[in-house]
Structure 1
Amino acid sequence: MNRLSCLIALFSLLAFARTTAAPADALRIQKNYQASMDKWALEMRIAATPEDRAKTWSSRPDATPSAKEMWAAIGSSLNQEWTLEPASWFLRITPGLLAKDETGTPQPIFSKNCETIRKAIETSHLKSPKLTPVCSALAASPDPRSLALLEKIKDTNPDQKIQGVAALGAAMQLKTLGDNAEIMAKRLTYLRKAIIQSADVEFDGSTVAKLAEDELYIIRFLTKGRVAPDLVGVDCAGKAISLSANQGKVIVLLFWNSNVSDAKRVVEVTTALQNKFKGKPLAVIGVNNDTLEKLRVLQSDGTVPWPNFSDPKNELAQQYRVGTWPLVYVLDGERKIHYSGAPGSFVELTAEALLAEIKPTAPAIEK
């Protein structure tokens, strides 16, 4: 073999090695991040003192370096089909990663990267048969532009099962837009399509049929104005608690766990809300599906200062058909639903409006 042929063969081998290494790199990044989360969870369980627990909680793995590493692995190859699964992981893990801008306002770090992924899907992958993880990530995305992309996948993809999966994702996104008649009709149409075309497709650890049934239940029983189901259970110390014990109070009901990507921010935001309305007829109550041991650690030294149902088997979360974590319901004094969605400013605004409607109790007149 002459020298030129050897060089051509060498460059070909290098190109092949890089092509095959990229998917392996993406898998390695995901596994390493999960391993760091597992290690942190173990450290939380064995932390012996309040100081150790506070230190361990504050050292929760930051997903930002892993997200940056993933972007380096997939960012220049988004037109290739193998990137769909790691890109879906990226879309899921980055929304809660924030940094302050020049005005001090927290902003998503990776919003432009996520937009690049959505554009790549629209440009290169609308007809791919491998879009189930993408539809799952888009269904859980807080970005309103995800709905339009899901509807394009539903209308464009030639695979009927992918159409149904995208229809389910679009129906899940639509519930964030309200519950007027037009939106409800569209949600029902999409859910019907999902059940007919994709019932047996695995989706977020469940099936399309099961999740579509959950969405239908939410439409019937968990939309604005409905009376939310009572929850009865125990906290991490085994003490009985219930929602009905807070009759007459505004309730901020938070479904959460310490493994969601923005858990630290969720705790900070919820604690700030509790502190803001201290002394008001408002109760912050969590439903947490961490292990009992981990929840005890988080509550024992006040890291999480509000009461929580311990729900490691998701029995209480299932009563509310919780599919996306974290999730907040704001209920009035009669447990009527006024808000459901992500933690943040809308929770605080809704709670504040409901508190303003509560008339102060007149002091008793002495005879």
Structure 2
Amino acid sequence: MKQYKDKPFAIVGVNTDKDRAALSQMNAKAGITWRSFWNGEKGTGGPISQAWNVAGYPTMFLLDHNGVILNRWLGSPGNDVLDAAIEKAVKVAEQDQARAPRQKQSSVDDIIAQYDSKMKRFGELYEKAETDEEKAKLFKESYPEPATYIDDLWAAVRRAEGTEEAARGLAWILSNSRDAEDKAKAMDVLMARHSDSPSLGKVCSWLVWDHSEAAAKFLDTLATKSPHREVRGAALLAKAAKMRRDGAASKDALALLRTLAKDYADVPHPWAKEIESYTTIGAAAEREIFELENLVVGKPAPDIVGKDLDGVEFKLSDYRGKVVMLDFWGDW
């Protein structure tokens, strides 16, 4: 049967020897590698042969690739007959498999949805974890590492080359991959083929932390050439954030933010659905303006009026006369 190696064919036995240990030794000695059901300690009177109404030995059945009985022989039919029947059945199986539709390959959106689902589940479990040990174990065993999705995403992007689906996949890789080569490659393809995509608003937020010249050039391209206001606004907001890192450019950042607050007050922020406080690009610019004008060294701290954990109202200014360490913290 060597001629059927790597073909849709298998031998399965039903062995009627009573001594299973002796049977295993005999199979090993004879080099028999196919799997066999053991008919039990009753031998030929065991449950499998009884269910199949086997009255003589050997009894042989040939099944097609759908499990349908093609032939039944009491005693060996002879090698020629057996080979001809098997060859015909295998040929039919191969033809059916060739005609069968290929298994659906995951799309970019399928893969991203899988990641989002696992991340959501991880977040739910993390909220329920009570100890540091439980949280550490959860991170180790259940955190959906983006790296495990990157290869499949690249394959899906290649299948969808030139489409908006491909742009979404490249944007996800650029935003989530920790591999510099992956990020650079995704940015190059986005800039060359997808700079007009509406899916690039969120990418701009991630590019704030990319200090490469390519990232700065990409933001410039989106800010000036994207046909979508949301993307242009997000790119300009990211450029302002980059300017803030340079003290000499803080005035330029403030001027740009004021323009955004005025001209993009009605444009939804790319992260509006995920982050409650990010309603519009204009509103995000207003928050940045407030920080630049008020939350800086040398300025009086804005007052806070609120209630403590006992429901008693108090103010930050109640502590004037004392040095205050104001700590925003949480115990997640």
Q: Which residue of 1 aligns with 2:165?
A: 82
Q: Which amino acid aligns with 2:266?
A: D
Q: Which residue of 2 aligns with 1:65?
A: 148
The reply on whether 1:154 has 2:223 as its aligned counterpart is yes
Q: Which amino acid aligns with 1:144?
A: H
The reply on whether 1:208 has 2:290 as its aligned counterpart is no
Tell whether the 8 Å contact from 1:164 to 1:193 is kept in structure 2 after alignment. no
1-structure distance, mates of 2:174, 2:315: 35
Tell whether the 8 Å contact from 2:171 to 2:200 is kept in structure 1 after alignment. yes
Tell whether the 8 Å contact from 2:175 to 2:203 is kept in structure 1 after alignment. yes
Q: State the shift of 1:136 in Å.
A: 2.6
Q: Which residue of 1 aligns with 2:243?
A: 174
1-structure distance, mates of 2:308, 2:176: 29
Q: State the shift of 1:65 in Å.
A: 0.7
Q: State the shift of 1:170 in Å.
A: 1.6
1-structure distance, mates of 2:120, 2:223: 36
Q: Which residue of 1 aligns with 2:329?
A: 287
Q: Which residue of 1 aligns with 2:186?
A: 117
Q: State the shift of 1:143 in Å.
A: 0.6
How do 1:182-331 residues align onto structure 2 when only pairs under 5 Å count?
A: 183-203=249-269, 204-205=271-272, 206-223=279-296, 226=299, 287-288=329-330, 295=331, 298=332
Q: 1:45 to 1:171 in 2, by over 3 A?
A: closer
- The structure carrying a bigger strand percent of its residues is 1
Q: Point out where structure 2 has 5 or more consecutive residues left out of the alignment.
A: 1-100, 273-278
Out of 195, 201, 205, the residue aligned to residue 135 of structure 1 is: 201
Which structure has the larger Rg? 2
Q: State the shift of 1:85 in Å.
A: 2.6
Tell whether the 8 Å contact from 2:170 to 2:190 is kept in structure 1 after alignment. no
The reply on whether 1:28 has 2:110 as its aligned counterpart is yes
Tell whether the 8 Å contact from 1:150 to 1:166 is kept in structure 2 after alignment. yes
SS at match of 1:140: helix
User: Cα deviations across residues 49-93 of structure 1 (Å, max 9, x unaligned)?
Assistant: 664444224435122212343233225756433322333233332
Q: State the shift of 1:233 in Å.
A: 7.8
TM-score, structure 1 length as denominator?
0.48
Tell whether the 8 Å contact from 1:139 to 1:169 is kept in structure 2 after alignment. yes
2-structure distance, mates of 1:52, 1:153: 43
Tell whether the 8 Å contact from 1:163 to 1:197 is kept in structure 2 after alignment. no
Q: Which amino acid aligns with 1:43?
A: L
Percent identity, aligned pairs only, is 20
1-structure distance, mates of 2:329, 2:152: 33
